[in-house]
Copies of this chain bind each other. A is one copy, B any other.
Amino acid sequence: MRVLYFVLLLLFFQSIPAQEKSGEFVDLTYSFSEESVYWVTAKEFKLEEVAKGKTDQGFYYSANNFSTAEHGGTHIDAPIHFADGAQTVDQIPLENLIGDAVKIDVSDKALKDPDYLISPKVIMDWEQEHGPIPDGGIVLLQTGFGQYYPDASKYLGTDKRGPEAVKQLHFPGLSVEAAEWLVTNRKIKAVGIDTASIDFGQSQNFATHVALMTQNIPAFENVANLDQLPETGFTVIALPIKIKGGSGGPLRIIAIK
């Protein structure tokens, strides 16, 4: 059905002059470095230089190794991250990682309240203004916290690390009620957010993750540059590292607007 839809669209757009087909890429990905923001208990990104410079054979050569938690920087939570038996990162169909997207901007409220939760009403109000979230849509949530990245004290609410820092996490998120509303009433492929977690910082039970991921809906976290996107009318392409059995991993996510 999706393929048929696509073919019909292709045929339809044959008649559109080439000059109207102008799209701009927006990279929604932070680069990985020792500055990348990680969960306070997660292993941070580390790059280890293997070679850099001219070799004895005469050619230049640069190479590195790296290590990281799956969940840090701009990354994907595969459904299995919080749902037993759900899709691992290598099992997520490509069709679910690419498609029409919308942005719901709650930064006005979230920047005033680091424990802000996006309610179902916020989404319904957004739809009143912009129309319904399309079937197969990817929903990006802009809290405004992206402007703080990578300053952990502002972005996460703490620059402390370790298990003791968990209770000091303060950043906005998607309420479980809104996640359940989306799962029940809309057919979305994925959700993304410009914070470290789709659940808010003070979550104890990660119920938003559970609500989405039991339905095989992955989450994109620490998504960059959402302020450069319109509310509707753009496409997202989100391609994660393909780790066999992985619960997630570094994600390269871009938009075409």
Chain A, interface residues (CB within 8 Å), range: 35 or more
Stretch at the interface among A110-118, A154-162, A229-237: A229-237
Contacts of A164 in B (CB 8 A): none
Contact A2 B60 (CB under 8 A): no
Known contacts A6-B9, A6-B235, A23-B7; A69/B50 CB under 8 A: yes
- Distance, CA A27 to CA B91, complexed state (A): 11
A67 and B69 contact, CB distance less than 8 A:
no
Which of B8, B58, B81, B243 is in CB contact (< 8 Å) with A32?
B243
Q: For the complex, is A171 an interface residue (Cβ under 8 Å from B)?
A: no
Taking the closest CB of chain B, its distance from the CB of A5, in whole angstroms, is 4
Minimum CB–CB distance for A19 against chain B, Å:
8
Q: Is the CB of B71 within 8 A of A68?
A: no
- Taking chain A's interface residues, is the majority helix, strand, or loop, or is none over half, making it mixed? mixed
Which of A121-129, A139-147, A244-252 lies on the face that meets chain B?
A244-252
Residues 205-241 of A at the B interface (beta carbon under 8 Å): 205-207, 209-210, 232-235, 237, 239-241
In the assembly, what is the distance between CA of A80 and CA of B51, in Å? 11
Binding site for B on A (CB under 8 A): 1-11, 13-14, 16, 18, 20-25, 27, 29-33, 42-43, 47, 50, 53-54, 57-71, 74, 80-84, 90, 94-95, 98, 100, 131, 134, 137, 204-207, 209-210, 232-235, 237, 239-250, 252, 254, 256-257
Can you list 16 A-B contacts with CB-CB less than 8 angstroms, sorted by A residue number? A1-B131, A2-B134, A5-B235, A6-B13, A8-B256, A10-B23, A11-B22, A14-B21, A25-B94, A29-B242, A33-B244, A58-B205, A59-B205, A62-B247, A237-B237, A239-B254
